[in-house]
Amino acid sequence: MSSTRLLWSEAHSVTIRLNVHEIVRQLNAHLGATLVATLAGVSDRKLPYRWAKPDGPVPGDSALQRLQTAHRIWHVLSKNEPDQVVRAWFIGANPLLDETPPVMALREGDLRGTTKAAESFIDGTWHG
């Protein structure tokens, strides 16, 4: 198995074992609550802070899928890049996503395309 596949497998294992409150807490800490709210598809910028509390509310299923995907991507990217590069990757225009920032692609539900764009960034390859 390639090292990239191992990274993605590890990221999946880590993310799937975390409860949603911890996923959101980590994303808030590394990406910021505004970015987390955007990718989750909610307009209330304070909601990610409430989701991160152990006794806080839980996001709906579609928001949870986007949060889990974002966490897997963050986990993989952060293995080799500092937080500022990972955050820039999430908010910058991405040619593999037709110049859509990954945060917006996640918000729109393009989980597979966003994951493929992250894989390409890690590998230094172009899959477009």
Task: Pick the closest to residue 42 from 34, 52, 30, 54 (CA basis).
Answer: 34
pLDDT at 1 over 60: no
**pLDDT digit string (tens) for 45-79?**
999 999 999 999 999 999 999 999 999 999 999 99
Which helix (DSSP H) or strand (DSSP E) does residue 80 occupy? Answer: none
CA–CA dist 6, 47 (Å, integer): 33
CA–CA dist 32, 62 (Å, integer): 20
**Encoding tokens for residue 100?**
């859509």
- Mean pLDDT over residues 19-34, rounded? 98
Name the pTM for this structure. Answer: 0.94
- Mean pLDDT over residues 13-37, rounded? 98
